[in-house]
Amino acid sequence: MATRILVADDQPDVVEALRLLLKAEGFEAQPASSPAGVYRAVEGGDFDLVLMDLNYTRDTTSGREGFDLLTRLRDLDPTLPVVVMTAWGSVEGAVEAMRRGARDYIEKPWDNERLLTTLRTQVELGRALRKSQLLEQENLLLKGDGVPELIAASKAMRPVLDVIERVGPSDANVLIVGEHGTGKEVVARWMHHVSRRARAPLVAVNAGAFGEGVFESELFGHVKGAFTDAKTDRVGCFELADGGTLFLDEIANVKPQQQGKLLRVLETGEIQRVGSSKIRKVDVRVLSATNANLGEAVSRGEFREDLLYRLNTVEIPLPPLRDRREDIPLLAVHFLRASAKRYGRELEGFSDAAMDALLRHSWPGNVRELQHAVERSVLMARGSRIEAYDLGLRRREDGSILTEELTLDEAERLLIEKALERSQGNVSKAAEALGLSRSALYRRLQRHDLGG
């Protein structure tokens, strides 16, 4: 379905220029020329985004009508993204618009590329937000006794759920691949939980953590006297997991020498405790996980190809959180409930700006980072809701700052910095762009300690 954008400005030439630009990009643009027209259109139609000017003829300078419209649109549909157009340099207008729920702003005259990027981002985030609200009503969470919840409502996670369902019950060795904090261990626990081994133990071991000698002892066990420190017999992970599942985490860090030993056990299903000649049969299903690219490690000669083939009968790639933004609201609410309970705090949820900040953040630390951010915000929150500044996520993906979270003073400083950047430090030009006199800008530079 085409993306529908409502374009509102009382200058017909502006609307027409935007309409042509959007059409060329495959968007469907519907024009409106007054706040009342915008409201009616949104009431009656289905839009992915509203792009609106702040100033209308009745009252061209204060933007009052535009602000009122923003408030009313927000009441009508809080999930509808609104991007405002402001006159070049009208700092206060942009800030006030964001406070009233605009998701972003564009300065006139606009730059086509930047405008399109902004619109695309906001359409995507708006869709994610809407979808997640629908999904929240359905129950797409996997819930099991003693297994961590796996929240996966996004399209990107469908294949993961699919493999858990289809391959989980089998004895196939599964390699789970994904960045840090994407939920590899959660998936491993679910694979075990849905298998016929569910009643037997799942033994998890950080296979990459052991140095010379210790590896074999940890995995295969040892007998008393096998080496100096071996004061008693020790059962290894393979034996502990007998009849169940062994989860080998950080598999890429297993040293080459150890890889050979591991391969042999996987091929034969037989282990020998260090220092013993007795051969023991074990019935173990092996799940493994890594955040490294094992294919590349193989071509660099750091990982044995035959071992990789043993481990990855089936491979599950876990997408990074930034590729499944629809899951963010569900995960955030889930972590909020859990933390609020743990810390005995009553919280209603997230403010719109806070949710927006969560949706925009790039989450390099994936689900774990989100979990920590929410947990911290639960402790920090002063009111009954989590506000954007409680989250402490000030930067977006491109490194720019989230305007919603700034105080007016911080916003002013930011816009001055930007103007100076654009004018390459030329104060007169920056002042002109900001609609200030040179001396007024100098005063502000001093106040903000910007070396004026």
Ligand X SMILES: Nc1ncnc2c1ncn2[C@@H]1O[C@H](COP(=O)(O)OP(=O)(O)OP(=O)(O)O)[C@@H](O)[C@H]1O
Please tell me the distance from the alpha carbon of residue 310 to that of residue 244, in angstroms, as a whole number.
Answer: 18
Q: Are 179 and 320 in contact (CB under 8 A)?
A: yes
Window 183-222: residues binding Mg ion (CB under 5 A): 184-185
182 binds, among Mg ion, ligand X, none (CB under 5 to 8 A by kind): ligand X
Q: Which is nearer to ligand X, 336 or 441 (CB)?
A: 336
359 binds, among Mg ion, ligand X, none (CB under 5 to 8 A by kind): none
Residues that bind ligand X (CB under 6 A): 148-152, 178, 180-186, 291, 331, 367-368, 371
Q: Which is nearer to ligand X, 25 or 369 (CB)?
A: 369
Q: Which is nearer to ligand X, 90 or 182 (CB)?
A: 182
CA distances from 215 to 15, 72, 139, 155 (A): 69, 64, 42, 39
Q: How far is the CB of 167 from Mg ion (least distance, A)?
A: 19
Please tell me the distance from the alpha carbon of residue 423 to that of residue 429, in angstroms, as a whole number.
Answer: 6
Q: Which is nearer to Mg ion, 218 or 390 (CB)?
A: 218
152 binds, among ligand X, Mg ion, none (CB under 5 to 8 A by kind): ligand X
Q: How far is the CB of 282 from ligand X (least distance, A)?
A: 24
> 3 Cβ partners below 8 Å, 6+ apart?
26, 27, 28, 48, 49, 123
Closest among 181, 235, 161 to 205, alpha carbons compared: 235
Q: Which is nearer to ligand X, 111 or 136 (CB)?
A: 136
178 binds, among Mg ion, ligand X, none (CB under 5 to 8 A by kind): ligand X
Q: How far is the CB of 159 from Mg ion (least distance, A)?
A: 20
> 165 Cβ partners below 8 Å, 6+ apart?
194
Q: Which is nearer to Mg ion, 207 or 436 (CB)?
A: 207
Q: Which residue has the closest beta carbon to Mg ion?
A: 185
282 binds, among Mg ion, ligand X, none (CB under 5 to 8 A by kind): none
Q: Phi, psi at residue 198, to the nearest 5°?
A: -55, -30
Report helix, strand or coil for 356: helix
Q: Are 411 and 91 in contact (CB under 8 A)?
A: yes
Closest among 147, 107, 86, 110 to 22, alpha carbons compared: 110
Q: How far is the CB of 368 from Mg ion (least distance, A)?
A: 9
Q: Which is nearer to ligand X, 236 or 320 (CB)?
A: 320
* Sign, Cα dihedral of 443, 444, 449, 452: negative
Q: How far is the CB of 123 from ligand X (least distance, A)?
A: 25
Scanning 19-27, 176-184, 268-276, 399-407 for contacts with Mg ion by CB under 5 A, the matching segment is 176-184
Angle between helices 438-447 and 408-422 (to 10 degrees): 120
Q: How far is the CB of 176 from Mg ion (least distance, A)?
A: 9
Q: How far is the CB of 312 from ligand X (least distance, A)?
A: 16
Relative to beta strand 147-151, strand 141-144 is antiparallel
207 binds, among ligand X, Mg ion, none (CB under 5 to 8 A by kind): none
371 binds, among Mg ion, ligand X, none (CB under 5 to 8 A by kind): ligand X
Q: Which is nearer to ligand X, 168 or 183 (CB)?
A: 183
Q: What is the dihedral of CA 363, 366, 372, 377, to 10 degrees?
A: 40
255 binds, among ligand X, Mg ion, none (CB under 5 to 8 A by kind): none
Please tell me the distance from the alpha carbon of residue 110 to that of residue 188, in angstroms, as a whole number.
Answer: 49
Q: How far is the CB of 317 from ligand X (least distance, A)?
A: 12
> 422 Cβ partners below 8 Å, 6+ apart?
430, 433
Q: Which is nearer to ligand X, 296 or 421 (CB)?
A: 296
Q: Which residue has the closest beta carbon to ligand X?
A: 183
Q: Where do contacts with Mg ion occur on this chain (CB under 5 A)?
A: 184-185
